[in-house]
Amino acid sequence: MLAREGFAIAGTLHARNADLQASELFRVRLVAEHQAPVRSFTGPALQPELTLAEMTAPQVVIVPPFYLPLATRSPLSPALAGWLQQVHASGALMVGMAGGVRLLAEAGLLDGREVTGNLSDQRVFAHHYPEVRFTPDAPLLIDGRIITAGSVNPCLDACSYLVGHFYGEAAAHKFGRYTNTVTQPNYERVAIRNTVLKQHGDQRIRQAQEYIERCFKQDLTVEGAAQRSAMSVRNFSRRFQQAVGMPPHIYIARCRSEYAKELLVRPGLSLLQVALQSGFRSEAMLRRAFSQQFDMSPAAYRAISAQSPARYF
């Protein structure tokens, strides 16, 4: 219900229209194996709107948070596991929220992927799903068409990512500001802002983009990203340029510059501190990259954002 209402809010903000039907961005339906009401953990029943058989080609599947207190596997029915596998194979984005991530793991969709989830589920993943790279300290992780959120706030960040994926950066920004995601970690904010640059079909390059977004504050190089992608630097750079529309070193600078914007609006940080915390080796590198990305100097951005903070994010 949180995601459903979040998408409704995103639609009204995007359309500047309080009419839910007229501003609808996503047609959200509650889906279950059968039409019978499903009892929630605390008792109130949820009424499914469609059965699995009736929901044949969703673009996005959200597995909501489930409270699974025991460190044991939670078996899925063959019908549900098969449906999850089928819709993923058909191209749907799969979103696991908190405890719901365990259901995607049980369906076999997370093997070889890096995901997040409830910290309390660390033993469960280590024991029952050893092929999954479980990283509970990351609030939100995006691995190709698998999106996982670790707790309530990252669930809203996942919704913001989906808004940006389908409707662009501006719509995601409006929703993000309303839901107060200014407190979200920098990886999610950078990932959301780069959604428009991931609308291509090269899965390996998209994974490389997500790796860069997670690691841009480190001593990251094009050579390192190419090696992680199991490609030569020349082939990696060519495919990256073709898919994203810019070379990988510019993409790295873009991520660092976007994060620098976050730091510039915070008081008490010198430009050198901003540069080093953003992954640049010097203040001069920050100034050069920032000016190339945003057509203004870091100092000018800081001055303007101080005068009108609501306009700069």
Cα(116)–Cα(188) distance, integer angstroms: 13
What are the tens digits of pLDDT across the range 61-109?
Answer: 999 988 888 888 889 999 999 999 999 999 999 999 999 999 999 999 9
Domain check: are 189 and 210 in the same one?
no
Domain residue limits at 141: 2-197
Which of 93, 95, 177 is CA-nearest to residue 140?
Answer: 95
Burial of 300 (0-12, 13-18, 19+ CB in 10 A): middle
Domain check: are 81 and 220 in the same one?
no
Residue 78: what residue type? P
pTM over 0.75: no
Total domain count for the chain? 2
What are the tens digits of pLDDT across the range 149-193?
Answer: 988 778 888 898 899 888 887 788 788 777 765 445 566 678 777
CATH, residue 142: 3.40.50.880
CATH, residue 281: 1.10.10.60
Domain check: are 174 and 261 in the same one?
no
Domain check: are 191 and 210 in the same one?
no
Domain check: are 245 and 116 in the same one?
no
Q: What is the dihedral of CA 133, 7, 184, 310, to 10 degrees?
A: 160
Whole-number percent of the chain with pLDDT over 70:
95
Domain check: are 44 and 85 in the same one?
yes
